[in-house]
């Protein structure tokens, strides 16, 4: 069974390789440097955590960070990225990765639930999440303030 481990400094290149593959598979850009990823995941107050499966090449990965919900009345975890290599799909690795994300976040910040975004044009991913009990919240819409717009907003205090 493939080991899943919390990313350490030595795993950053492999993590970023897997994230690049995920971005390519989704048709997304990949703009973060290995150094920025390292800074986000390490230090005295990391702002995110990551898990990786695989020894020499990534077979699975998860990137996640804490969040708080006043409507749920609990701390939780935002899963920004989950990826499983095509060779490992259907083996249970994705489910194991999610379980480890929940366990890790519960231990680190009391996380009690997961939140994520899935693309409409990825029906297999949506089916995977819904099979595990994830629910769509039709009254919510994912909104993003991109980097350039955030800079403008901050400049116009």
Residue with tokens 């995920």: 22
Q: Are 29 and 19 in contact (CB under 8 A)?
A: no
Mind listing the pLDDT tens digit of every residue in the chain (157 residues)?
789 999 999 999 999 999 999 999 999 999 999 999 999 999 888 999 999 999 888 999 999 999 999 999 999 999 999 999 999 999 999 999 999 999 999 999 999 999 998 888 888 888 888 898 988 888 877 778 888 899 999 998 6
Around Cβ 33, how many Cβ atoms within 10 Å? Answer: 10
Structure tokens at 93: 């690795």
Residue with tokens 């990949």: 30
- CA dihedral (91, 92, 98, 100) in degrees, to 10, reads -100
Question: What's the mean per-residue pLDDT of the chain?
Answer: 92
Pairwise CA distance, residues 148 & 80, whole Å: 20
Beta strands in the chain (DSSP E): 4-6, 49-53, 60-69, 74-84, 114-116
Q: Are 4 and 52 in contact (CB under 8 A)?
A: yes
The CATH H-level (homologous superfamily) assignment of domain 4-155 is: Gcn5-related N-acetyltransferase (GNAT) (3.40.630.30)
Would you call 47 helix, strand, or coil by DSSP?
Answer: coil
Q: Which residues pair with 116 in a beta bridge?
A: 79
pLDDT recorded at residue 157? 66
pLDDT tens digits along 21-33: 999 999 999 999 9
pLDDT recorded at residue 44? 86
Q: Is 73 left (phi over 0), alpha (psi -120 to 50) or beta?
A: left
For the chain, which residues make up each domain, given as ranges?
4-155
């Amino acid at each position: 069974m493939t080991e899943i481990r919390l990313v350490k400094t030595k795993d950053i290149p492999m993590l970023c390789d897997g994230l690049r593959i995920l971005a390519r598979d989704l048709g997304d850009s990949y703009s973060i440097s290995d150094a920025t990823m390292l800074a986000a995941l390490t230090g005295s107050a990391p702002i995110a955590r990551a898990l990786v499966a695989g020894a020499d090449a990534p077979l699975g990965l998860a990137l996640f960070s804490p969040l708080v919900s006043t409507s749920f009345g609990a701390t939780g975890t935002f899963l920004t990225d989950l990826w499983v290599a095509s060779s490992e799909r259907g083996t249970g690795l994705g489910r194991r990765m999610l379980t480890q994300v929940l366990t890790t976040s519960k231990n680190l910040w009391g996380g009690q639930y997961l939140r994520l975004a899935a693309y409409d044009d990825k029906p297999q991913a949506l089916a995977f999440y819904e099979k595990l009990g994830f629910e769509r919240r039709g009254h919510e819409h994912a909104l993003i303030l991109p980097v350039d717009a955030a800079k403008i907003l901050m400049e116009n205090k």
